[in-house]
């Protein structure tokens, strides 16, 4: 199941001074490759505050250690990344580098990371306390991958369970979310989700040519989100 989301927000609640100054924040995939792109490529970065216009939130995502985001002087602070219509990003780790030379000053020691599909409902996936920093080096954190909801059902063809490929799409814009096979013996399928406020479409594909087969799709039961 994908952990891909549009919004990612770091929340800083304590540190070595009132400021937070970050040179780089990278959201990375399972292979350790950066999937967050600079705002110059279309993403958006915002923050609870900036020290001045010279130190905007976008500096934390521009892939340069020579610039940085600098907050105002009083906790708490937050720093948010928005894919802004680009492909949503599937994140496994977050890498953070502080402003060079400020490992014991403008560096956070307590913070969390949250993810969201809609910028309203947020799910915490990382909690850090007692963070320490080395100038010029990234701190790398592996995030939790919680899935609180599920789409589950059984594929029956002429009342017989079958193995078929299932795709999950968002009804709002038709974007693909995830996919997988039903069990070849029981016909059962289950996809873990993080959000119960999004309407999903469950589409069963024809096994031969991957063309939607409405007669088979109608036999999927049930096809709604269920709580644990």
Element (H, E) at 74: none
- What does the mean pLDDT of the chain come to? 83
- DSSP readout, 13-43? EEESSS--EEEEEEEE-TTS-B----GGGT-
CA distance 86 to 90: 12
Of all residues in the chain, the percent with pLDDT exceeding 90 is 47
pLDDT at 223: 37
At 1, the pLDDT band (50, 70, 90 cuts) reads very low
pLDDT at 179: 82
Instruction: Check whether 221 has a pLDDT greater than 60.
Output: no
Residue 1: beta bridge partners?
Answer: none
pLDDT at 99: 93
At 214, the pLDDT band (50, 70, 90 cuts) reads very low
At 153, list the tokens: 């059902």
Half-sphere exposure of 179 (CA within 13 A, CB side): 12
pLDDT at 225: 35
CA distance 103 to 97: 10
pLDDT at 88: 84
Instruction: Check whether 212 has a pLDDT greater than 70.
Output: no
**Please, are residues 212 and 206 in contact by the beta-carbon 8 Å criterion?**
yes
Q: For the chain, what are the domain ranges?
A: 7-142, 149-224
**Fold adopted by 7-142:** Jelly Rolls (2.60.120)
pLDDT at 208: 52
Query: Which of residues 161 and 129 earns the better pLDDT score?
Result: 129
At 55, the pLDDT band (50, 70, 90 cuts) reads very high
* Residues 179-208 pLDDT 10s: 888 888 998 887 766 565 567 778 776 555
At 53, list the tokens: 């216009």
* Residues 79-126 pLDDT 10s: 999 999 888 888 889 999 999 988 778 999 999 999 998 899 898 999
């Amino acid at each position: 199941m994908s952990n891909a989301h549009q919004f990612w927000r770091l929340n800083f609640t304590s540190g070595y001074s009132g400021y937070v100054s970050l040179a780089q924040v990278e959201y990375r995939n399972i292979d350790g490759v950066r999937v967050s792109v600079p705002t110059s490529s279309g993403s958006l970065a915002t923050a609870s505050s900036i020290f001045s216009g010279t130190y905007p939130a976008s500096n934390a995502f521009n892939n340069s250690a020579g610039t940085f985001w600098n907050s105002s002087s009083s906790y708490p602070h937050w720093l948010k990344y928005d894919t802004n219509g680009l492909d949503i990003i599937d994140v496994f780790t977050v890498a953070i580098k502080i402003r060079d030379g400020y490992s014991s000053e403008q560096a956070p020691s307590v913070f969390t990371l949250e993810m969201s599909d809609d910028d309203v409902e947020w799910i915490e996936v990382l909690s850090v306390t007692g963070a320490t920093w080395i100038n010029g080096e990234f701190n790398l954190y592996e995030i939790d991958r919680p899935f609180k909801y599920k789409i589950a059902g059984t594929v029956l063809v002429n009342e017989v369970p079958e193995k078929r490929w299932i795709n999950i799409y968002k009804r709002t814009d038709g974007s693909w979310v995830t996919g997988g096979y039903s069990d070849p013996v029981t016909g059962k399928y289950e996809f873990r989700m993080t959000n119960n406020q999004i309407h999903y479409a469950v589409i069963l594909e024809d096994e031969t040519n991957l063309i939607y087969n409405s007669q088979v799709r109608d036999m999927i039961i049930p096809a709604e989100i269920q709580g644990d």
